[in-house]
Structure formats: C-alpha cells, structure tokens
Amino acid sequence: MKYALLIYTPTTAEGYAAAAKATVHEADAHGGWVDYTRAAKEAGVLVGGEQLTHTDTATSVRLRGDEERLITDGPFMETKEHLLGFYLIDVPDLDAAIDWAARMPVDDATIEIRAAMSGMPWQLMLD
C-alpha cells in the first residue's frame, strides 16, 4: 500500500529551521534527512517526497462554482503547525508506515499517516 507521511512542524521560523536542519542541502552526508532518505530508498519503499517552502510564501486559489477565481496571499488556514513536507512510501501495512514515520530525524513534529486510495480511474494516467 502507498502511504503519504505528512510532516507537520511548528510554523515559527525557529520551528521550521529546526525541523529542516541537516536536510539534503547540507554537504554533510551524515545529515539526518540524508540518512533517512537513503535508508528508505535502499529498503525499496521510497516512491517520492518533497520539502515545501514556508507557509508565508503560500498562495491560495479559491474556486467556487462560476465565480471568478479568488487569489489570496497566504495559506489555506493560519495554524500553529504547518506541512513542512512529505514522503510517499510503498509498504505492506500501517505498522510498517508507522515505523518509517517514527524513524524521521525530527524532535518536534507530528507525522500524519494517510493511506492512498488505489484502483481509481485517474491513477491510470500516472503511468
């Protein structure tokens, strides 16, 4: 099954910096995220993943029926925690997904695990 591991961290600048520390940008090969990503890849479970820019750079487009599109500067919702990034993994069951979530190199974060639907017609377009 495919699972999205959604990484939520404090929205504050310090919170963002702390969670993103030792990311792929760092030359240090022992950086936590580098190790984590490599481990997921070597285990054959990694499907994809992205680190997102801070929500203060977000743009929201609101669609309501025939109304003209409404563009706002900022996130969909102002919250204390925001989506820092996500991994998409393919593992046998929820227990395995929980294990991968628990291995992430962050101190202050909540990982929301969402199983992906399968067998949807639109997904045929992905291949």
Partner 1 sequence: MSGPTSEGELAHAFREEWGAVVATLARRLGDLQAAEDAAAEAFAAAATAWRDGVPPNPGGWLMLTAWRKAVDAHRRTAAVAVDPQVLGELALRAQPEEAAVDELATEPRQLGDDRLGLIFACCHPALALEVRVAMTLRYVAGLTTKQIAAAFLIPEPTLAQRLVRAKRKIRDAGIRFEIPARPAQRLRSVRTVVYLVFNEGFAASGGDALIRKELCEEAIWLGRLLHRLLPADAETAGLLALMLLHHARAVARQAGGRPVPLEEQDRSRWDRALIAEGTRVLDEALARRDPGSYQLQAAIAALHAQAPRFDDTDWPQIALLYGSLARLEHSPVVEVNRAVAVGMADGPLAGLAVLEPVLASGALEGYSPLYAAHAALLEKAGYPERARGAWARAAETSANSAVREELLRRHD
Q: Does 93 bind partner 1 (CB under 8 A)?
A: yes
First to last CA, the chain: 17
List the one residue from 98, 104, 105, 109 that touches partner 1 (CB under 8 A): 98
For 64, other C-beta atoms within 10 Å of its C-beta total 8
Report, in Å, the least distance between residue 2 CB and partner 1: 10
Q: Does 94 bind partner 1 (CB under 8 A)?
A: yes
Report, in Å, the least distance between residue 42 CB and partner 1: 19
Q: Does 24 bind partner 1 (CB under 8 A)?
A: no
For 21, other C-beta atoms within 10 Å of its C-beta total 14
Which residue, 84, 85, 118, 99, is CA-closest to 2?
Answer: 118
Residue in the block written with tokens 């101190």:
107
Chain residues that interact with partner 1, rule: CB under 8 A: 1, 3, 92-95, 97-98, 113, 115, 119, 121
